[in-house]
Structure 1
């Protein structure tokens, strides 16, 4: 029995030695471009970068990369793509090309950080959080772009989503606050672009005065 297993293992190793060399990243890159041309002929691949990661076992190899794609409607996206090859007999065959994550790229710039902070602060000051005084807004990181889905691109809404920290001082007027205590509200706010007025606005429903917690 042991001899049979050893012989089988030796045969498998010999077959793998006779197999053609596994495809490299350049083959995977070409496979990505070819797959877009076949599956999304109206889109244009502007750039393929990688590999970000490589995974391999005896009979399979997988590459991860990214593609910068211009859609037929003029929008652009950064897609994360994997390419997998399988060893069939002595030949490597393309098993699949799959987009596993896609991020829409902005077609307009966000306001400068100082301007965004000013707009958000004005919105919070107008939210009438009567249990708190001395509101201040701090931006936490870079904004994330979002495009409304289900609408034609020309009329679709565009936002930038900000992680913000709103600090305030309790005034003791309501149960929500302790007089003189420091509070913070870590939340997300969206700045909506109005193309007609060429201005940014904040949706009032996002300004929740109940989100403040007392600092330790």
Structure 2
């Protein structure tokens, strides 16, 4: 209950059975090094990235196993927006950084079909193939043609779905504000300069 407001009370956060926060955790490892007469050198960007990758891999493995057992899961993209507050609620020490949140519960029915872009927009063979305007239009055509996307465009007074993302859902001002919050939190709690 204390975490749901930090995820903007999204229905997935307020209606789930369990809300899990997956964290980069170098606190434990550094303490082990200190207790073992080893000099830790993990307060840097490389270690942060290694921890982020390991944490994401673990979260996805949890997600896969949970779904194999009939549970429904939903990733919340808001963990990095309010990491300092999440850290306070969870009493996280230095070197423990909230990275991703997963809601877990028993689904009430079939989930709606995802509006993800086709695999052709993601996979590159042998080398990166840069996109032409035609490629981009093809990749996003189905997503833009969906009824829910057209509704999104209309109710937000926009002319394209991309404008909904850039002007309403993820505007530059919010991206910069949340970037600063998360960067400052990481610098203070992980990158011990």
Q: Looking at secondary structure, tell me which structure has more strand per residue.
A: 1
Greater relative contact order, per chain length (Cα 8 Å cut-off, separation 6+): 2
**TM-score bin (small chain):** under 0.3
Q: Looking at secondary structure, tell me which structure has more helix per residue.
A: 2
Q: TM-score, normalised by structure 1?
A: 0.21
